[in-house]
């Protein structure tokens, strides 16, 4: 499958957000609207007063996740050991903005970064506990992989064309990718986040405080959530993470494949080095 070009994104201004709030949620019309310092790609976010945030998809493809988040985040939140965003209100198109959008409670914390993490092994275990709890939520009726989440939770073959085009000058990666493609999933659906990345993990004094941005969540193969083992965790943290989640060899290989895809797409040489080193250490 060819995923095609990136979606055509729309720009969103603070003035548009003020008009959307005034028109649709006048009880909040007097609250200050200002951009969030570290926003995002799929969604642009604005502070609404001191305790809320407005989250607006930047393309039609990303807007597909809005209804899903409103349906499922209230179900997931009470079953998870760390705070996650829970929608307070859903907005309609207006003020020149074409998609549905959401208001959430603001979650405090700073995006994770290796030098901000107080104890790498403890952080890895905290994250593994969170993902274990997420996987244990009943997957019945949950959203299957599709356009709403760029087919996270599905087969890595979806991304094979993209990876093959990027592999020409990264020889050692070809074996890792093929191993990931060959590693079979047992077919047991589980909940996954879909984009467990540093920017979606919030820290408080160096410890995991919250997990945000569930736009790519769904039910299916949860190995996509393992990519964080190579993109953020240390070698010791990676080992503790894998042990706590009891990850089998096939799932670990697929998780490495997801990490490889991410690293190739953004040409992250540090992550590629982690992947190759871990592969060699595993024999």
pLDDT digits (tens, 9 = 90+) for 202-249: 999 999 999 999 999 999 999 999 999 999 999 999 999 999 999 999
Exposed/middle/buried for residue 171 (C-beta within 10 Å: 0-12, 13-18, 19+): exposed
pLDDT along the chain (283 residues), means of 10: 70 97 98 90 95 97 97 98 97 98 97 97 98 98 96 96 82 90 97 97 98 97 98 98 98 97 86 79 46
Question: Residues 156, 173: one domain?
Answer: yes
Q: Confirm whether 5 is domain-assigned.
A: no
pLDDT value of position 41:
82
> Is residue 232 situated within a structural domain?
yes
Please report whether residue 6 resides in a domain: no
* Residues 159 and 237 occupy one common structural domain: yes
Say which DSSP state 44 is in: E
Which domain range does residue 97 map to?
Answer: 14-105
pLDDT at 121 (0 to 100): 98
Q: Do residues 258 and 149 share a domain?
A: yes
- The total number of structural domains that make up the chain: 2
Quick one: 92 and 117 in the same domain?
Answer: no
Helix (H, G, I), strand (E, B) or coil at 281: helix
- The answer to whether residue 1 sits within a structural domain is no
Shared domain check, 149 and 72: no
- Write down the pLDDT at residue 283: 34
Tell me what pLDDT residue 3 has. 59
Q: Tell me what pLDDT residue 38 has.
A: 78
Domain stops at, among 71, 105, 139: 105
User: 218 with 87, same domain?
Assistant: no
Strands (E) in 134-257, as ranges, are 190-192, 201-204, 207-211, 218-220
In sequence order, the 6+-apart residues with CB closer than 8 A to the CB of 166 are 264, 265
Write the CA distances from 146 to 61, 156, 157, 251, 271, integer angstroms.
Answer: 11, 13, 14, 20, 27
Domain final residue, candidates 105, 135, 166 = 105
């Amino acid at each position: 499958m060819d995923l095609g070009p990136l979606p055509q994104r729309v720009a969103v201004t603070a003035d548009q957000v003020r008009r959307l709030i005034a028109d649709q949620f006048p009880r909040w019309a007097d609250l200050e609207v200002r951009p969030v310092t570290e926003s995002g790609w799929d969604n642009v976010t604005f502070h609404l007063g001191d305790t809320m945030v407005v989250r607006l998809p930047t393309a039609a493809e990303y807007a597909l996740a809005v209804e899903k988040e409103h349906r499922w985040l209230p179900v997931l939140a009470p079953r998870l050991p760390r705070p996650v965003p829970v929608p307070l209100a859903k907005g309609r198109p207006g003020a020149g903005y074409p998609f549905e959008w959401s208001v959430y409670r603001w979650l405090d914390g700073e995006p994770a970064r290796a030098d901000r993490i107080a104890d790498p092994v403890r952080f890895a275990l905290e994250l593994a506990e969170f993902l274990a709890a997420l996987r244990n939520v009943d997957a019945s009726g949950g959203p299957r992989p599709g356009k709403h989440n760029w087919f996270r939770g599905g087969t890595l073959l979806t991304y094979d064309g993209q990876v093959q085009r990027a592999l020409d000058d990264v020889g050692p990666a070809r074996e890792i990718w093929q191993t990931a493609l060959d590693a079979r999933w047992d077919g047991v659906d589980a909940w996954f986040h879909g984009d467990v990345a540093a920017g979606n993990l919030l820290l408080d004094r160096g410890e995991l405080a919250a997990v945000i941005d569930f736009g790519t969540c769904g039910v299916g193969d949860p190995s996509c959530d393992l990519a964080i083992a190579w993109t953020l965790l240390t070698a010791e943290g990676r080992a503790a993470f894998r042990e706590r989640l009891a990850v089998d060899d096939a799932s670990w290989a697929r998780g490495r494949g997801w990490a490889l895809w991410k690293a190739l797409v953004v040409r992250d040489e540090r992550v590629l080095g982690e992947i190759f080193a871990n592969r060699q250490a595993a024999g």
